[in-house]
Amino acid sequence: MTAWLAAVLLPTAMWAVGRRLAGRGGAEPSLPAHAALGFFAAAGLLGRRGRPFPEQVVAWLLGVLVWAGAFVMRDAGVFVAFGLLGAAWGAGLGLYTVRAPAQAAGLPPAPPPPRRPPHDLPGADARAGGFALELRCPTCGAALAVPVYHRMVRCEFCAGAQVVVRGDETLTAVIPDTLTTEAALKGSVVEHLRYRRYLELYRQRVRPLVGDATFAGGTGDGESGQLQPPAGSALVDAVEREVARAADAWATRLAPRVRVLTWKRFLAPNWHRFGTLYRSAFGRDDGGAKRMEFAVTTVEGSVRANAAALPEMGKLSYLRALRPLLGAPEAAIPALPVQWGPDEIDRRVQRLSQRSTELSLTPIAMHATFVPEVVALIYRPWHVVEVELDGETLALLVDGGAGRVEGPPGAGEFATAPLAAPSGAPPVLTPSRCPDCGADLPFAPDAVACLCRSCFRLVETQGPRWRAVPYLHEDPAEGARSLPFWRFPLRLRTSRGELITDLPHLTDGIDGTFDQIGDRPPGAQRFYVPAFRTKVSGAGIRLYRRLWPAVQTRPHELQPERFSPARPPTGVVEVTLPAAEARAFARVYLALAFTQRDLARAQVKGVREMFLSAQLEGEPDLVFLTLPDALVGPFDTLFGRAQVTALADLESGRDAPRA
């Protein structure tokens, strides 16, 4: 009886020890050690490796037979025979361990379960990519996520159109803290540990099954292609699901053993800029001909405002909605001091401006202007926490906005102080109505000025007060649309101090001679720059190219009065480009004036002096020009803002969209 008790209790104890050591990490046993453990304690080895429970039961029965041969039957042949079966089983697991490192470089770790965005509010524009602010609808009080570049928003609850009224020039906002209780913080830590366990089980159970998988679509320059699963991928999927269930069960058993020892919350300041980069370049195309080209890129970027060793903020669109700091509950959390300004973003944009990935030519000389549209000081919540797990202490840095553990905290102290109230009023929403006649203004999210369809007054939607904007217009016509343009006087001051006032003296003189216009004296001329943005890069540039000859080469009879209700315009495109930014766009838009004949003999010095380094003087007028549907109609879907591109993506070499 004692012999049978020993034969049962010994493998049972080894099994229990193995299961207790599961998930503890540490170095994997060598191949001979796997074989030895399989011989003497197969159940303990499988429990340590986290194999499925039925396998562990079979290994336990095998262990009972091994030790029964030694203690009960006292037969060396039975002991060795069943022991060798366990050794072969252990050696097989050991072979997977040896193969795993070689496969690790080629197989991506499975991602953790997707997390719901912490502030998923109606109105957020995920496709646009920029971050949004949480604002209250003045009509029904609903919380809306308003992208920072939007001037108007439609409430999804009451269907009312609202205008965004901005306060201070620098927007002060805070990322909502999702970890406001100890239970939420523990949940984030347990999720982190669960994910680590998931990756360990994935490496043990799934990677051996996909070891022969291949990649397709690789570029050969370090970018991996798409994983092509082998035949039997249904088995792989089933094992992946089992791994996820095992990790969930493990996390459920782990959660009661996690204890929070210390917990410090603080805010870290980050500067954020959102704006547009305008570039023009002189260079050669693929055929070797000299050309002038331009590109427009909507960029958002961020830098830390404090020297503390914290991860970069990166792009904010995944958070969906931030809160204005004034009145937010996070304003009571102490913060790191602001030590630096946003100048580093401008320096990074200037370095970026020398890249030519968006230009269809090899540049010889370039000019770039970055126009910030939003300058924000954004506070990000962080948590430094120490937790105890089975007698072991872990120090972790947790991102309060994403609710995710980022790793151990960096070296140094996080010296904080109470946060001072921001100066200036936060943005608010106000009903979208014409201040003259009270009619609802047409809904256009990016509009900086709206044309009332009742009284045809043009009103600005920026600032704390409504302001009427004067404009000129051509008479409406059947089968035509009204598009807004900024009409600039052509007053281009070269770097040598000369003033160019007409296009022939700019384009013909770019090569240092006037062989096309001769000795004709210069005249005064105006040129028209689109007062609207476009969405898609290639098609948007094609629209701008088509508009240049259609608008610039014909005379315009402009009326100073408002549009008449008796002859209302049709197909009006809203004004989405303000005058201050249009000046930067006008500088690069003039690149369309040059032909290959103008540039054939041009030298880089003359191009820099007369065009790339020149300054545009004079104030523009806003005009609505009438253009035929046949010209504009194919581009109906392009009116609006281009997708926002993170500065980090551009610096990494990825192509950016052009407006």
DSSP β-bridge partners for residue 284: 290, 362
pTM of the predicted protein model:
0.71
- pLDDT digits over 417-457, tens only? 888 777 767 788 888 888 888 898 888 888 999 999 999 99
Closest CA relative to residue 96, chosen from 58, 60, 62, 49:
49
Least confident of 155-164, 279-288, 601-610, 641-650: 641-650
- E-state strands within 305-389: 323-324, 362-389
Predicted confidence (pLDDT) at residue 123 exceeds the cutoff of 60: no
Q: What is the pLDDT of residue 121?
A: 47
**Residue at 576: amino acid letter:** T
- pLDDT digits over 168-215, tens only? 778 888 999 989 899 999 999 999 999 999 988 888 888 777 754 443
For 40, the enclosing helix (H) or strand (E) is helix 31-49
Predicted confidence (pLDDT) at residue 9 exceeds the cutoff of 90: no
CB-based contact 616:499 (threshold 8 Å): no
- pLDDT digits over 621-632, tens only? 999 999 999 998
Q: What is the pLDDT of residue 89?
A: 77
Predicted confidence (pLDDT) at residue 127 exceeds the cutoff of 70: no
Predicted confidence (pLDDT) at residue 106 exceeds the cutoff of 50: no
For 449, the enclosing helix (H) or strand (E) is strand 449-451
Beta carbons within 10 angstroms of residue 435's beta carbon: 13
Q: What is the pLDDT of residue 651?
A: 62
Helix, strand or coil for residue 460? strand
How does residue 316 score in pLDDT terms, banded at 50, 70 and 90? Answer: low
Dihedrals phi, psi of 77, to nearest 5 degrees: -65, -45
Every domain of the chain and the residues it spans: 2-104, 469-640
- pLDDT digits over 350-380, tens only? 777 666 556 778 888 888 888 888 888 899 9
Strands 621-628 and 472-473: parallel
Structure tokens at 278: 């305008």
Predicted confidence (pLDDT) at residue 250 exceeds the cutoff of 50: yes
Beta carbons within 10 angstroms of residue 188's beta carbon: 21
Least confident of 95-109, 161-175, 335-349: 95-109
Structure tokens at 56: 């562990």
Dihedrals phi, psi of 614, to nearest 5 degrees: -75, 160
Q: What is the pLDDT of residue 12?
A: 84
Predicted confidence (pLDDT) at residue 342 exceeds the cutoff of 70: yes
For the chain, the average pLDDT equals 81
- E-state strands within 236-304: 258-284, 290-304
How does residue 522 score in pLDDT terms, banded at 50, 70 and 90? Answer: confident
CB-based contact 293:281 (threshold 8 Å): yes
- E-state strands within 452-542: 458-460, 467-468, 472-473, 480-489, 492-493, 499-500, 526-530
| Mean pLDDT, residues 260-270 | 92
Of all residues in the chain, the percent with pLDDT exceeding 90 is 25
How does residue 343 score in pLDDT terms, banded at 50, 70 and 90? Answer: confident
| Mean pLDDT, residues 476-503 | 92
- pLDDT digits over 20-47, tens only? 776 555 556 777 887 888 788 888 877 7
CB-based contact 152:135 (threshold 8 Å): no
Q: What is the pLDDT of residue 158?
A: 86
Q: What is the 3-state secondary structure (H, E, C) of 625-641?
A: EEEEHHHHHHHHHHECC
For residue 506, CA distances in Å to 184, 361, 445, 494, 525 come to 65, 22, 37, 10, 11
| Mean pLDDT, residues 299-307 | 85
Give the distance, in angstroms, between the CA of residue 113 and the centroid of all CA atoms in the same chain: 20
Q: What is the pLDDT of residue 145?
A: 86
Q: How far apart are CA 135 and CA 146, in angstroms?
A: 7
| Mean pLDDT, residues 218-247 | 62
Predicted confidence (pLDDT) at residue 586 exceeds the cutoff of 90: yes
Half-sphere exposure of 516 (CA within 13 A, CB side): 17
DSSP β-bridge partners for residue 282: 292, 365
Structure tokens at 295: 């590109």
Q: How far apart are CA 547 and CA 534, in angstroms?
A: 13
Closest CA relative to residue 640, chosen from 438, 448, 389:
448
Edge-to-edge strand ranges of the sheet holding 467-468: 449-451, 458-460, 467-468
